[in-house]
Amino acid sequence: MNRTTSVFTLLFSLALLSACQTPAEETVSATADEQESAGRSSSADGATLYIISPMDGEETGGSVTVRFGLSGMGVAPAGTVKDNTGHHHLLIDVEELPSFEFPIPNDANHRHFGGGQTQVSIDLEPGTHTLQLVLGDQSHVPHDPPLVSEKITITIN
């Protein structure tokens, strides 16, 4: 076999191997880092995020259970790369929404529910407080367009 034939055989073999890949080999899910570097995850058309309870203007004492509502998309734990899913972030007494280009902060005013939780009981000091939800993707980055609930105000007696 001469050199030209060897090169041709090698190239033909590589092309054949590439063409014989099964769909499972071709459909490899992107990692969270790959998706993050590619930009924000898309939100589903018509999806909405809302607080089921407490109601805006509600007065309560001590502990309050906040129930999260989401329609048009699903809830998945942080780190899960799956279209049309995300996890909840509860903003407590936050005046200005965080940047939608970066992961949502994780502190006392920006609570992450990366386990896929859909409610939480929290203790707040007596007084007036605001609550708002933001849906984050597998990397805690808001979707594009972002899903943000209306801000509600509650009073703790």
For 87-111, the pLDDT digits (tens) are 999 999 999 999 999 999 999 999 9
What stretch(es) of the chain map to CATH 2.60.40.10? 35-156
Degrees, nearest 5: CA angle 104-117-140: 20
Looking at domain 35-156, its CATH class is mainly beta
pTM of the model: 0.76
Distance CA 154, CA 157 (A): 10
By the 10 Å C-beta count (0-12 exposed, 13-18 middle, 19+ buried), 142 is classed as buried
Distance CA 48, CA 148 (A): 8
Of 1-15, 45-59, 78-92, which gets the smallest average pLDDT? 1-15
pLDDT score for 61 = 87
State mean pLDDT over 38-62: 93
Name the average pLDDT for the chain.
83
